Amino acid sequence: MSDPQTVSTAVAKLYDTYPFPPEPMLDEPPPGYNWRWNWLAAYNFCTGQKPQKQNIRILDAGCGSGVGTEYLVHLNPQAQVVGIDLSAGTLEVAKERCKRSGANRVEFHHLSLYDVEQLPGEFDLINCVGVLHHTPDPIRGIQALAKKLAPGGLMHIFVYGELGRWEIQLMQKAIALLQGDKRGDYRDGVQVGRQIFASLPENNRLAKREKERWSLENQKDECFADMYVHPQEIDYNVETLFELIDASGLEFIGFSNPSFWQLERLLGKAPDLIERANGLSERQRYRLIELLDPEVTHYEFFLGRPPLAKADWSNDQILLTAIPELNPCIDGFPSQCVFNYDYQLVNLSLPEFDFLQKCNGQSTVAEILTNVQLNVDNVRNLLNQQLILLTPA
């Protein structure tokens, strides 16, 4: 299936049959947060400071059933949001979802990524999650999106990784073989796939991987179909991923799950190997990490369009005159035990807790420190943990 129009039609048919993601609709804002969809938290992650403006334009490129779109509206109360998708059926679900939860600053368009130039203006934040790898030409897709990114804007992307999806690829091919002429009948594909899993021996590698990793979400036919009978999928490794990124013409800012990409967690017991790895380029180190830990099922990362000002808080005087406030993506505050932006548990010392309570968006770091038993390096630590955002003086 090489003709782009044929591929696009097949992909639209899959999602018309199985709107995805299949999350239930609510008559209230969705629970919790994904910090990557919060402009303040995402901009802080990428630049080390609070953005100057919040009345931004956001594009959800390939919005599906609107699960991410809904968060983008609710997490960014001053933003105007646009959602586009290839599947008319799925867009109807997205519209209904946003209507029911009161996400009313959003407009939807039935558009492919390739036609995004038809939308007026530029966007400060473009979200493209789980989409590019299902297009016939991801490079053309990312280049089309890049043209719509405003200077100083951010793009968050999520694409599949080949190493952690090896068993999925095998099952996709097996289902396609057994479907034969019925390929493209997605309900038949789901039925065939379910029969295969029910029949495979318990110790079979494909069955074990499905049981360990995916079976809970794949109880829903929408998820099973998206994973195993998708008509178009391109999986990446670090080398092919950076070919895609380089083709965008944008700056690679970093992975949005940075803890996975720390070599120390794998080779920390061998300092001489860490030393050797220091001689590698950044991309070679990323490649080494995925070779040593081939659980990579996806890559999630930020790109930016220059000029993107990155803050340097190494100068004490500059830090002391900045105005701190709490990262909006924290759960459980005020308490000394909170969940950080990545839903990891953080135990705050009493002085740290005291400092965070005084971050009112008006007082400077210096003013707060006159009443709190913390020093400048402790404040940097709070900043490095993404617990606070700083606005330069």
Same-domain status, 130 and 170:
no
Does 311 map to a domain? no
Does 186 map to a domain? yes
Q: Is the pLDDT of residue 191 over 90?
A: yes
Same-domain status, 90 and 13:
yes
Q: What is the pLDDT of residue 23?
A: 95
Percent of the chain at pLDDT exceeding 90: 99
Does 113 map to a domain? yes
C-alpha–C-alpha distance, residues 323 and 368, integer Å: 10
Same-domain status, 20 and 49:
yes
Same-domain status, 249 and 145:
yes
Q: What is the pLDDT of residue 200?
A: 98
Same-domain status, 38 and 138:
yes
Find the mean pLDDT for residues 9-22.
96
Kindly report the CATH number assigned to the domain that includes residue 35. 3.40.50.150
Does 339 map to a domain? yes
- pLDDT single digits (tens) 72-103: 999 999 999 999 999 999 999 999 999 999 99
> Domain range holding 385?
316-391
Same-domain status, 43 and 188:
no
Same-domain status, 60 and 197:
no
The total number of structural domains that make up the chain:
3
Same-domain status, 143 and 291:
yes
Q: Is the pLDDT of residue 1 over 60?
A: no
Q: What is the pLDDT of residue 3?
A: 86
Q: Which amino acid is at 68?
A: G
C-alpha–C-alpha distance, residues 28 and 23, integer Å: 14
Kindly report the CATH number assigned to the domain that includes residue 357. 3.90.930
Radius of gyration of the chain (CA): 23
Same-domain status, 257 and 377:
no
Does 20 map to a domain? yes
Distances (CA, A) of 348 to 229, 268, 385: 47, 26, 11
Same-domain status, 149 and 281:
yes
Say which residues have a Cβ less than 8 Å from residue 214's Cβ, sequence separation at least 6: 168, 223, 227
Q: Is the pLDDT of residue 301 over 90?
A: yes
Q: Is the pLDDT of residue 328 over 70?
A: yes
Does 112 map to a domain? yes
Q: What is the pLDDT of residue 31?
A: 94
Find the mean pLDDT for residues 331-345.
96
Does 309 map to a domain? no
Residue that is last in its domain, among 209, 228, 247: 228
Tokens found for residue 38? 């919060």
Distances (CA, A) of 265 to 262, 293, 386: 6, 10, 21
Find the mean pLDDT for residues 240-246.
98
Same-domain status, 125 and 219:
no
The b-or-e profile of 74-109 (16+ CB within 10 A means b, else e) is: bbbeebbbbbbbbbeebbbbbbebbeebebebbebe
Mean per-residue pLDDT over the chain, rounded: 97
Same-domain status, 220 and 358:
no
Q: Is the pLDDT of residue 2 over 70?
A: no
CB 186 within 8 A of CB 17: yes
Q: Is the pLDDT of residue 304 over 70?
A: yes
Does 310 map to a domain? no
Alpha helix positions (H), 229-342? 238-248, 264-267, 271-277, 282-292, 316-320
Say which residues have a Cβ less than 8 Å from residue 259's Cβ, sequence separation at least 6: 265, 342
Q: Is the pLDDT of residue 110 over 60?
A: yes
- Using DSSP bridges, classify how beta strands 106-110 and 80-85 pair: parallel, antiparallel or unpaired: parallel
Q: What is the pLDDT of residue 183?
A: 96
Q: What is the pLDDT of residue 330?
A: 96
